[in-house]
Each structure stands twice: as C-alpha cells, then as structure tokens.
Amino acid sequence: MNWNSRRITAILSNALLEDQATRDATTLATVDPQQKAVGTILAKEDCVLAGIASIQRILEVFAELEGESRGYPEVSIPQEMFDGVRVRKGDALASVRHNGRVLLSCERVILNLMQHLSGIATMARRYTDAVEGTGVKILDTRKTVPGLRLLEKYAVRCGGGFNHRLDLSDGILVKNNHIDLAGSVRVAVERALANRKGEQPVEVEVRDMKELDAALKYGAESILLDNLDVAQTREAVARVRKEAREMKIESSGGVTVENARQYAEAGVDYISVGALTHSARFVNLSMRIEPA
C-alpha cells in the first residue's frame, strides 16, 4: 500500500476535514501550543492489525492542511508490529512523540481508520482460517464504503484474503440483472464475449442448474454460483467439471465462517464474501496521550 498516493492522501485529507481537526475547539482552548506529548496506541482485544502506516501519513496530511510546521512526528513501531500480524489484547502497537495539540486533534481519525481496517483484516483472517488447507481463496466484493474501497480491499489482503474486481471496469461479471435485461443467459453471454475489451474474462453468475447449463453451453469462462446451498454447490461443481475441468468456480451468498469449509470442500475455487467489508465491526483500539 502506497500511503503517499494521491488517492489515499485525498481520503485522509477528507477524514480530517470532516472532523474539523484543524479547528479542534477543546484542544485549542486547553492545551499549550508548545506542549510535547507521547501517544501510545493499544490493542484492547485480540485482532489482526491493518493500517499502521496511516499514523505517520495522517499526521503529515494534518500539517499540510494546517499550513504550520510543528516538527516532524516521531512514530515508533515495534519490529513485531506490522499489517497482517495477529496482536493480543494489551499489546502496544505504536507510539508517537509529537506536538500535543496535533496528537489530540488527529487521535480520532487515526483510531477510526485503524479500527475499521483492522476489523476487516480480522474478519478476513477468520474466513481464511476456516478454509485453511483446502486451496480455496477467500475474495472480497464491491460492497464497500463509498470512497474507502482501496483501503478496505487492502485490509482484506492483510487478513489473508484476495481481491475480486476493484471496480466495474475490472473484468466482466454477468449478473442476474444483466441476464434479465438481456432476456436470457445466452444473449447476455454472447454479447459479453463479442463486446469485451482485449482479454477480459467473462464470468457468469447463475442462480440454478438451468442457468448453469446455459452458461456452460454458450461460452462462460468462469462461473459464480449465487446463493446455492452446499448440496446444490456440490452438484453444480460436478456438472462444471464434467463439461470444463479447468474452469474456475466461485461461490457467493449465504457463506458464513461456520459453513465456509463445507462450501470449500464442495469443490469451488473461490468464495466471495461481502461481509468482509460491509459487516466487519471496528476492533477496539485506544490511544493513551501523556506529556512528553
């Protein structure tokens, strides 16, 4: 993750502006402008860490917004703390020596981002642990918070998952609404194959065995099984392997941490889980700020 990229900088800048961090009324009224402080970020529960490099970048973006230099933040991160590592309740994740006003004004943005990304990474790790040893890859989806997709998909990778399409231009996925508007699986798939750009693969989402048979017959290059139960998934995999042994098969819909291994053992190659990004809760982190 390049935390200095223009897109990431814009996300962090908007977060600070949303919180009016440069106009922190309480801090400006109570803390001496020259006060030095040390902030220590602590894990309040076991989790998988993600977003630790954002600490430095958020403080730098704050300085750019404020237009005033208060010195360079000294961010100290223990060698054993890095994105993707499992941390335990009570672990010190990082410490920051900097101007006290700046630390107080940036505290909530730093914690919000790290808690959100670490929550996603933690959930992704639970799913990847659930299918360990099967060879199945856990994928995310486009069910992300508007504006935060790059960061959320990065957090999925921190948890051992993989990224599906980044956006609508990133490959062809013929879904049920495309099929309904085109009139049939055949028409939708034939149009996709005729109109794709370059080597874009054509994946087709199917809701039952009839749509699966049509997708295979008319040229689908990979299959997404939508909301099929485990028994139906096993049957669908058998049909696909009979027709096209090397075709990739993805399951989506209704997959939980508890049943993910059953789906994996049904023979699919991928399991995509929208909950990784749309339902992951914040993990509990805190920042203790003390005079330097």
- The residues annotated with a catalytic role in the active site are 108, 143, 175, 205, 226
The rounded distance, in Å, linking the Cα atoms of 58 and 174 is 39
In this structure, are residues 126 and 118 in contact, taking their beta carbons and an 8 Å threshold?
Answer: no
Beta bridge partners of 29: none
List alpha helices for the chain, DSSP H: 6-18, 25-30, 54-66, 100-130, 149-158, 176-182, 185-195, 209-217, 230-243, 260-265, 275-278
Among 198, 199, 139, 135, residue whose Cα is nearest residue 163 = 139
Identity of the amino acid at 102: V
Beta bridge partners of 226: 252
The rounded distance, in Å, linking the Cα atoms of 84 and 154 is 10
The rounded distance, in Å, linking the Cα atoms of 106 and 282 is 18
Contacts of 269 (CB under 8 A, 6+ apart): 135, 136, 137, 248, 249, 250
The rounded distance, in Å, linking the Cα atoms of 42 and 287 is 6
What's the helix, strand, coil split of the chain in %, to 5? Answer: 45, 20, 40
In this structure, are residues 257 and 15 in contact, taking their beta carbons and an 8 Å threshold?
Answer: no
How big is the CA angle at 139 (ends 133 and 144), to the nearest 5 degrees?
Answer: 150
How big is the CA angle at 204 (ends 206 and 222), to the nearest 5 degrees?
Answer: 115
